[in-house]
Amino acid sequence: MKQLKDAFPYQRVVVTGGAGFLGRFIVERLQKYPAVEVFVPRSADYNLVEASHIKRLLSDAQPDLIIHLAAVVGGIGANQKNPGKFFYENLMMGVQLIEQARLHEIKKFVALGTVCAYPKFTPTPFREDDLWNGYPEETNAPYGLAKKMMLVQSQSYRQQYGFNSIFLLPANLYGPGDNFDPETSHVIPALIRKCLEARESGAAFVEAWGTGNASREFLYVEDCAEGVLRAASRYDDSEPVNIGTGSEIRISELLQTIARLTRFEGEIRWQHDKPDGQPRRRLDVSRAFEKFGFRAQVSLEDGLRRTIDWYEAQVAGETTLVESQSQEA
């Protein structure tokens, strides 16, 4: 992946969620600019739900740019179990960060929204102008609406205060370093783990939620990092911008591809009593290209291979560590 050619226009950058999945790639890229200082607030030191902690963060870091990635997230199951928590904590983080950024006269604020903010039955491809044409899919509506409030705040603060903030809507992310916890993971890491564990145990089948008929758009995490930094560097408007590939795949096809790449040859059983979530997701990505020249580079097949290879290496490393420890004992 190519680094941005121009010098980065900000010198002191706070990246909330900078130790997370997407954040690590963004921080790594920013650190390649010799004149840029990056500050990553840790949750143990700064609770971003609390205004007093945000004030202390901005006083400590003195940033001229904030990239807000921190979020309380999870798959369909996690959203169903925690709708209140996901709504409150995401809402309060976003609202208070933007307000304190304005009061501290931060030069620019980059807010990451979510594709979950789109209405359940948005015509495909999803265009940014369709964001308010209905209610989000119910299983993740609290999370999606909480994040979408940053768009309202961004636009109203630009109108009233001239505050420079932007709002980006990435597709579903995946890649090396993703969350593979079976309780909270999203669909790609969940299916990769299921197929690999079934292959290793010799299981005859794997189970997957829903019917397999829903479609999703998936964006490789390094592509997303490139898009966010291009927008941070070059885009200064509060109109929302989709960040994605512009292509979709049915979950049934996705699972077949993952099974092939992980060499799992057993049966796939669909759990029809589990929800599919939003019926279709595919983004119109023309605005990102027009406004700041972003176009995704990594194909889904290539990205899946890289993700599977990374996870298998992690599992192999953990197995080696456990064996070494047991021998020492």
Active site residues: 143
Q: Which two tokens stand for residue 87?
A: 């709504």
- The Cα angle at residue 198 between residues 268 and 195, in degrees rounded to 5: 60
Residue (of 193, 170, 189, 175) closest to 281 by Cα position: 170
CA gap 281, 250 in Å, rounded? 10
Contact in structure between 294 and 288 (CB atoms under 8 Å): yes
Q: Which two tokens stand for residue 280?
A: 């279709």
Give Cα separations from 255 to 81, 207, 271, 272, 328 (angstroms).
25, 10, 14, 15, 40
Tally of CB atoms within 10 A around 118? 26
Q: Helices (DSSP H) in 64-140: which residue ranges?
A: 76-81, 83-103
CA gap 135, 141 in Å, rounded? 8
Give phi and psi for 281, each to the nearest 5.
Answer: -145, 120
Paired strand residues for 170: 243
CA gap 11, 21 in Å, rounded? 23
Position of tokens 């898009």?
Answer: 227
Paired strand residues for 242: 169
Position of tokens 């077949």?
Answer: 256
